Structure 1
Amino acid sequence: MRFAEARLDTPPTTAALAASVGLSQFHFLRLFQTRTGETVSDYIRRIRLDAAALHLRGSREPIVAIALAVGYGSQAAFTRAFTGRFGRSPASYRRAAGRGTGAVDPGTLRTVAIRRVAAITCLGRRYLGSGCDAHVQWRDFLQDLPPDLGTGPDRRLLRVVHDDPRITPPEQIRVDCCLVHAALPSEIRALAGRGIHAFETGAGMYAVIPEAEAPGSASARYDVIDGWLAQQERYRPRGTGCLEFHAGAETPADGRARELFVPVRTAGGDAA
């Protein structure tokens, strides 16, 4: 999944995906559908179109540029695929999303700050499911870590959310539950057998909103970011991979994070 997600502009072939995990194409395709409930082609098409919907909501980029960024060779092909998924054209979707940004309290918008974040080394496990399953996901992840890693008051927990809950159905939202760990343990190969892998989050700029400033559902916090993006000209969304930071010895009980970090870039500029 991560191999495909890093290449939305040039979607990998099934052969390349199978080779990335050392499996035959037949075995890979069967295992992927069993684990995710989707075929590989359906999954890649969905994450490309959901990424495009995110950009349509939060930027003024030309539709053809968004189509190219998610691997479509023409605006016409992109429009057909997008309309098939969302029931409306990209232009209509953008207009409808823009009408919702005026409902956010202007005082809340002023709490959004920009921070630069370096790449973060993590041990993480991928889950599919909505935020209401977060406490179950955390418990499942932490109980499979080695005892010296999974406990302690100084540990830092990070949840990487790859989908916007206003765009992607709850059961298809991609989440990585992670332990921030600067020095990877020697038993990392054994952890991979449990579905726990080492990876780095993307470095760059993030728009940050404290959880206390946007109580309620995750959708409410994303609405704040949309409203903030709409009222200024300097920043645009930068793909997916929102960061939710947790801390402390207890398993997060409700999945709520102290702060939500949404990746952004300067308009017309590089993410870093």
Structure 2
Amino acid sequence: MAKLLQGKVAIVTGAGAGLGRAHAIELARHGAHVVVNDIAGSEDGAAARAVAAEIQRTGGQAMACTGDVTRFDDMQAMADRAIAKWGRIDILVNNAGVLRDRTFAKLTLDDFRWVMDVHVMGAVHCTKAVWPHMQAQKFGRIVMTTSSSGLYGNFGQSNYGAAKMALVGLMQTLALEGAKYDIRVNCLAPSAATAMTKDLLPAEVLARLTPEHVSPGVVALVHSDAPTRMILLAGAGSFECANITMTRGVFIEELATSAEQLIGCLDEVKSRVGEVVPGAGWDQYKLEIDKATSKV
């Protein structure tokens, strides 16, 4: 049976350990040639080289490529290496990330900027480096790694949450701009065991919260018939979908008393009966204009 990603070329950032390592191995298992990216670190990329070697030992094709996602020149050099070796880039998994957890009151601006720089600008740099190649070949699959912290909030993670929600916005627009080139862009929100969950969950639950239980979601988001603009949640072998929706809302005609009227009907504004998933930002304007003109 043909493999889902046979001959495709994939880049996975932050792939020296954890989720990135699991994603790289799973993509290779399905036939992709994988660029295993990680920051050089104190051992000059030993982690990335180990993952690439692991893939090669099982008959896959992989190469390690160290580089810092916060430096565009590093990401451009990585894309150039992939093109030189395999002639194309089909898949990008923006996985690299960092944490600097503190309540907003105690969080320094430097730590806020650093998390935004790694997650948001890191994804921008990587995507910018591969985008022209995907346009030229009229095929591309890009995964942004978002988080429940961005989608729903998490105490002590204002910087991380802001960065992860920013990636959803980036995904929404890039999917629209890439559609005519068959570049499909999606988000993955993974759940995996961390030091934070170690004392909160029983051992049998933690045993399922492994990166390997998340990575099939990456394959589902990058194969030839993949969706686009999907926010896929994944953890412990379970998969869900999140949506940014818009309610039907209300129309208030009298400007002079609109604030008072709105305060009195916020429950109706929040009602999810008849809510929709907008296809683009213009859908908000259209809904509001349609309601306004229908009252004229």
Q: Same fold (TM over 0.5)?
A: no
* Higher RCO, Cα 8 Å, sep 6+: 1
Q: When the two structures are superposed, what TM-score results if normalisation uses the length of structure 1?
A: 0.25
